[in-house]
Amino acid sequence: MPHSHDHAFHAFNARRREGLVCSSRRNFLKASLAGIAGLTVPHLLQSQAQAAPGSPRPTGKSVILLWMAGGPSHIDMWDMKPDRPLENRGPFAPIATRVPGVRICEYLPKQAALLDKFTIIRSMDARHSNHEPNTVMQTANLDAEPRTNPNARDYPAIGSIVSKYHGPNHPSMPAYAAFMRSRSHLAFAGYLGRLHDPFMAQQAAALPVYDLVGTDTGQVTNPSLFQLPTGITFERIHERRSLAQSFDGIRSELDTDGSMSAMDRYGQQAVEMITGRRAENAFDITREPAAMRDRYGSHLWCQQALLARRLVEAGVAFVTLDLSYHTASGTWDTHGDNIPPSGGIWNGLRPLLPLFDHLVSTLVSDLDQRGMLDDVLVIAMGEFGRTPQTGTQGSSDGRNHWPVVMSMCLAGGGFQHGQVIGATEADGGSILERRVTPGDLAATIYHHMGVPLNTHFADPSGRPRPIIESGNVIRELI
């Protein structure tokens, strides 16, 4: 699929004539390297750089982030207020869960039955967070809000930090992968450099195509990542790699910005990813038994969840699923009945909840049955909560953005679960007790991944920056 953005080999200018020579050994080498780049792999593979000196080695731990783009309504899902007036409590009823005394939305019955394996956080402070782009919660940095800070995009995603200071759990897999619906829904590597941007997983898997309002078009994507150009065989790729290694003089001449030395470091991994087939197999959902594919279901998001499990099983350390149909603010942005495509709480959120319920409960149960749940931390959240009052923007039941507080849930990671952390005031509009910050969440993720919390990285000016500006591991989980 054609793309307009630069790739990792754009500086090689492999197809550009140089000087008065139409063909040269230099151009031949560059074309050889561009041949591998044409497979769209090496730039993405660079994200699995080995950890910096003194930092921990890969631990076998991983994270799956279910990103609910748009901001899911905490009051209508995990922090219900059934005794309040209708315009506050919303249209849904609460149900009992596996955890005594804890009640959640009636449209989440599968999660309710498994709630002993989950922790619900009802007091997450989402102040400063916004969407398009959705960066504050994904970076754990309150300054990472592009609408108010022109340097916000420089703050690296948590997944990018994991990429740099943990790396993949297998050398032929990327460290950080994402199924992305829109670039504005994800945080990227920023100061860490493009080599720690997420691997665009949707380019590597055949997946159903949904339109902006969630209708299955009946089409399936045709992934090109592992398709070799016409006339290129695995043997020729290995030959090109050997030839590149033999051109020491040309390599030295071209190495003006470190790009060739990077190829020395990552080139073999690019070849291994293509010819070793580990990554290709991980993205091939047809390798799953039919019963397991049926268990997850045919919906796009559910197939991505199954692929996420396959990816962490194969060695990816951090996977993000962009749970949105729409490429703008996000499908969970339930402002009101007259705001397409999301609708309000009844017409917009209600159809999403059984789907999310099936997805998250199936994923957690599958990981548990495979003995993987202690190693895989599953997180489900969006960028903020929704207003305590319904009926916004001319609708009967829509809710606006509410960054004052939000709810989220976690499972796995070897943590203590079957609990609720924090509480909101009677109307769900503000934090009553146990404030949890984005920095606390990031610290908990890094603790799980074995990344020291005092780790610093250097920005382009050489200034050391902490991976956590302020935050501590969520003590109730340990």
The pLDDT score that the predictor gives to residue 271 is 53
Residue with more model confidence, 162 or 391 = 162
| 250, 224 Cβ separation under 8 angstroms | no
Q: CA 444 from chain center: how many Å?
A: 16
Q: How far apart are CA 334 and CA 71, in angstroms?
A: 8
Q: In 90-239, at which residue ranges do the beta strands (DSSP E only) sit?
A: 94-96, 103-105, 118-124, 176-179, 199-200, 208-210, 216-220
Please report the beta strands in 141-253, taking only residues with DSSP state E, as ranges in sequence order. Answer: 176-179, 199-200, 208-210, 216-220
CATH of region 53-231+278-477, choose from 3.40.720, 3.40.50, 3.30.70, 1.10.357: 3.40.720
| Confidence category of residue 231, pLDDT binned at 50, 70, 90 | low
Strands 385-386 and 208-210: unpaired
- Closest by Cα among 428, 420, 414, 424 to 476: 420
- Rounded to two decimals, the pTM is 0.82
Cβ-count burial of 25 within 10 angstroms (0-12 exposed, 13-18 middle, 19+ buried)?
A: exposed
Which of 25-39, 86-100, 276-290 comes out lowest in average pLDDT?
Answer: 25-39
SS3 call for 133 = coil
Q: Mean pLDDT of all residues in the chain?
A: 83
Whole-number pLDDT of residue 267: 53
Residue 215 has pLDDT above 70, yes or no: yes
Decide if pLDDT at 233 tops 80: no
Alpha helices, DSSP H only, in 429-473? 438-449
pLDDT > 80? residue 32: no
Q: What percent of the chain has pLDDT over 70?
A: 76
